[in-house]
Amino acid sequence: MEQKLGLNQDTIASCRKDAKRIADQVQAYIDKHTTVAVERTVLRLLGIDGVDEFGRPLVNAVIDHIVEKGGLAKGVAHYMYYAVKETEETPQDISRRIANKTFDMSVYQAYPKVDKHDVLMPFFEKTLARVDAMKGIRKDWLAKTPQKSTPSKYVIVATGNIYEDMKQAISAAKKGADIIAVIRSTGQSLLDYVPFGATTEGFGGTYATQENFRLMRQALDQVSEEEGRYIKLVNYASGLCMPEIAAMGAIERLDMMLNDSLYGIIFRDINMKRTLIDQYFSRVISSYAEIIINTGEDNYLTTSDAFDHAHTVLASQFINEQFAKNAGMKESLMGLGHAYEIDPNMENSFLYELAQAEMVREIFPNAPLKYMPPTKHMTGDVFKGCVQDALFNAACVTSKQSIHLLGMMTEAIHTPFMSDRAIALNIASYIEKAFKNFGDDIMFKPDGIMVKRAHFVVDQAHQLLKDIKEEGLFKALEKGRFAEISRREDGGKGLHGVFLKHEDYSNPILDLLTKRLKEEKHGC
């Protein structure tokens, strides 16, 4: 794409080199460890689903049993391999027996290393065949959907009731929305299990469950047929069940998933080691399923000043990019996030916002960037809020962002009504037309405010990445380098679910997915 800001490409290359070093340092730790969520995901990919008589997911029952009786160091596949081989039962049947306390898998702890997981492969292949079919359906839909040259309009539904969410999603799609996100119920990221079935009660959102995914996908497929264009579905693969939810999303054909390597650490106080291990497997799954991830750098600016700390967003984007690459992800799936959050009372705030948006677009030209609306400085004045959102919309179209999360005039007041969403879509559509080629027709002064600002932010991000490279990401998070929030390396929630791998550890589905991603990359 056209380079209007004259950014120093050597500096950007150095940023990427430093970010790779940072990500690779963490990857060395990831490769030596597993988590309860990773192992539960292995079970889900074997086809295990459902709950026991107490409502506990069967995958949790199996992992709890192994942790209590033997330990996860060899990986759940080790135990399940011998259980299936000796009983000739399915993983689903075995998990039910474990939940009912009529089967003990701990006897397999002392068994020798499994070199070839042939008895498990048919179960994995069955799940991957479904994921492949879902990829094919999406590909066919996108091929017959009119291609847009302007940002895709993204809106949120969050009633707490999946059936009400479906009605609101259909309404938004018919009004022009391209992407529907279902916000999770408050606090779900801290649950170390995935709720089961369709849910009708949630606070501030709707529980992410596989059945809820299926129901919403079904509703959006119906409205896609009616509208003659594919409506994309989004949910959250984050928190203590990050890879599990990614697997469920792959199975039910979600198109995007919020999937950040640092958000849960910073804003939910989930242990950093647990999060970073889980994010790797979740991104491998998303890479294979061709699900666009959305990262959460925009949230940094809700706790730190958007003008003074813009460079932390850029530095985090560079790091997130490298984590995604380590997981075999194509740039076309890296929905790096940023936001329009500078204080509107600052003189020339729009110029600084546009400079930031254009800078990110030029640095990550192949990424489907996700641009977030103003929230921190929304006061409840709906008229001023409409103006703030209009300026945000103008910056979004001008700088050619990819994913355009619409702001609502009632931000900071209540969960939006359908009417609020309709107004936001009307305003965005108007500005989309009015500004469609505005970005193509303007140039930036080489010594102007925007160019100087972009260069300054890149230089600051470069220095921050150098510092993090030297101290390591774990120490950087302890120092509060992002969002001005400090987290301890061995603090937060979920560390008890992290296990050092035994020398006989195996994760056959991770090996298979990474192998297929490498073959795809090299055209094999």
Domains of the chain by residue range: 47-119, 124-451
Phi-psi region of 75 (alpha: psi -120 to 50; beta: other; left: phi over 0): left
DSSP per-residue codes, 446-496: TTSHHHHHHHHHHHHHHHHHHHHHHH-HHHHHHTTTTTT----TT-SB-GG
Pairing state between β 33-35 and 498-500: antiparallel
pLDDT given for residue 414 in this prediction:
77
**Reduced to 3 states, what is the DSSP secondary structure of residue 499?**
strand
pLDDT given for residue 155 in this prediction:
96
**Four-residue CA torsion sign, 25, 27, 31, 35:** positive
Locus of tokens 């950040």: 260
Given a contact cutoff of 8 angstroms between Cβ atoms, the answer to whether 376 and 340 are in contact is: no
Which residues 6+ apart lie within 8 Å of 23 measured at CB? Answer: 319, 322, 323, 325, 326
Which residues 6+ apart lie within 8 Å of 224 measured at CB? Answer: 141, 173, 230, 231
Containing 404, the helix (H) or strand (E) segment is strand 403-405
The model's confidence at residue 2, banded by pLDDT at 50, 70 and 90, is: confident
* Residues tagged active-site: 263, 298, 370
Angle, helix 58-69 to helix 36-45, in steps of 10 degrees: 130
Mean pLDDT of 397-419: 90
Mean of pLDDT over the chain:
96
Task: Strands of 138-268 (E only): list them.
Answer: 152-157, 179-182, 232-236, 256-258
pLDDT tens track for 279-290: 999 999 999 999
pLDDT given for residue 241 in this prediction:
97
Given a contact cutoff of 8 angstroms between Cβ atoms, the answer to whether 421 and 389 are in contact is: no
pLDDT tens track for 123-134: 999 999 999 999
Mean pLDDT of 199-203: 94
- Count of alpha carbons within 13 angstroms of residue 500, beta-carbon side: 1
pLDDT tens track for 26-68: 999 999 999 999 999 999 999 999 999 999 999 999 999 999 9
User: For residue 201, what are the CA distances in angstroms to 61, 367, 421, 471?
Assistant: 24, 36, 22, 44
The answer to whether residue 275 scores a pLDDT higher than 80 is yes
The answer to whether residue 466 scores a pLDDT higher than 70 is yes
pLDDT tens track for 171-188: 999 999 999 999 999 999
| β partners of residue 498 | 35
Q: Can you read off the two tokens belonging to residue 341?
A: 């959050």
pLDDT given for residue 1 in this prediction:
75
Q: What's the CA gap between 495 and 33, in Å, rounded? A: 12
pLDDT given for residue 524 in this prediction:
62
Give Cα 428 distance to the centre of its chain.
Answer: 24
Q: Can you read off the two tokens belonging to residue 19?
A: 């970010």
The reply to whether CATH 3.20.20.440 applies to domain 124-451 is yes
User: For residue 230, what are the CA distances in angstroms to 179, 220, 270?
Assistant: 9, 8, 35
The answer to whether residue 69 scores a pLDDT higher than 80 is yes
Phi-psi region of 79 (alpha: psi -120 to 50; beta: other; left: phi over 0): alpha
Q: What's the CA gap between 208 and 20, in Å, rounded? A: 32
pTM of the model: 0.96
Q: Can you read off the two tokens belonging to residue 239?
A: 């928190």
Given a contact cutoff of 8 angstroms between Cβ atoms, the answer to whether 234 and 255 are in contact is: yes
Query: How would you class 291 by CB atoms within 10 Å of its CB: exposed for 0-12, middle for 13-18, buried for 19 or more?
Result: buried
The answer to whether residue 165 scores a pLDDT higher than 70 is yes
Q: What's the CA gap between 428 and 407, in Å, rounded? A: 9
pLDDT tens track for 82-120: 999 999 999 999 999 999 999 999 999 999 999 999 999
Q: What's the CA gap between 254 and 138, in Å, rounded? A: 9
Q: Can you read off the two tokens belonging to residue 34?
A: 């597993």
Given a contact cutoff of 8 angstroms between Cβ atoms, the answer to whether 34 and 507 are in contact is: yes
The 8-class DSSP code of residue 402 comes to: S
Give Cα 324 distance to the centre of its chain.
Answer: 11
